[in-house]
Amino acid sequence: MTTATPAPPRAVRTAAALTFLQGLGGIALAVALVVRVLQGAPAAGPVLGAAGVLVLWFGGVIFACVMLFRGKHGARTPVIVTQLLLLGCAWYAYGPSEQPLIGSLGGIYCFVVLVLLFTRDGREWALGLPEEPASQADKAD
């Protein structure tokens, strides 16, 4: 006997969709690296290795996004970890790489996704807390 999991709130679904776009961007970067090697880039081994890592990472991110969108609670953690890792990449782009516009935009994007995942509705859904009926919520205020 299985119990139906409640649908994730709108904020969690939006975060999943935004992270899905990041996953597609990561896969596109991997494809660009492979094309670069096919065009004769030197040191093909490290470039193909990086492409393989990107495919594994962002393929997993896309899978987690689909599962999160479908209401699987365990998929929230990989999405959060991805945002934290990409915040580090945004910091590096902003500072040491001297690309402040790209770093700022990437950091803001990651921050928005994290905020969406940690809204009150998102936390309650992730913890499996029952939804409070509207009539009781009005009485509590």
136 in any annotated domain: no
Q: Render pLDDT for 1-60 as a digit per residue (tens, 0 to 9).
A: 456 677 899 999 999 999 999 999 999 999 999 999 999 878 889 999 999 999 999 999
User: Which tokens hold the place of 38?
Assistant: 């096919």
60 in any annotated domain: yes
110 Cβ contact partners less than 8 Å away, ≥ 6 residues apart: 83, 84, 86, 87, 90
CA distance 47 to 34: 8
4 in any annotated domain: no
What confidence score (pLDDT) does residue 4 get? 66
Structural domain count, the chain? 1
CA distance 53 to 68: 22
What confidence score (pLDDT) does residue 137 get? 54
CA distance 120 to 71: 16
